[in-house]
Amino acid sequence: AQKVTQAQTEISVVEKEDVTLDCVYETRDTTYYLFWYKQPPSGELVFLIRRNSFDEQNEISGRYSWNFQKSTSSFNFTITASQVVDSAVYFCALSPLNNAGNMLTFGGGTRLMVKP
């Protein structure tokens, strides 16, 4: 069975602060993918990143960065110099890397509020 835990249900920061969203996962699969999605108030799901379990290199994309630590089963997401437009619910997700379908297991989400 797979499980994704986002312990922070809600985070509030002031604009320009850095913020890290935690994600811890459990899986028996040796190979898998990890994802982050953003759900703004409008409700759609915006894909942010996909990382496979073979690649533990950290990734940076503009103000976003991701830290994958296989040893602690964590895939944390940091927003540097947060902006009001970053306010959204962020979901971490996991899928197996096999031929039986890549259905996603989502965490409960972290609601980020960035205040001006």
Task: Work out whether 109 is an interface residue with other proteins (CB under 8 A).
Answer: yes
CA dihedral 51, 57, 62, 65 (to 10 degrees): 80
**Residue 11 burial (C-beta neighbours within 10 Å; 0-12, 13-18, 19+):** middle
Which 76-105 positions form the footprint of other proteins (CB under 8 A)?
91, 93, 95-105
Which 40-79 positions form the footprint of other proteins (CB under 8 A)?
43-45, 47, 50, 52
> Rounded to the nearest 5°, which phi and psi values hold at 21?
-105, 125
Q: Which of 33/64 has CB closer to other proteins?
A: 33
Chain residues in the site for other proteins (CB under 8 A) = 4, 6, 31-33, 37, 43-45, 47, 50, 52, 91, 93, 95-109
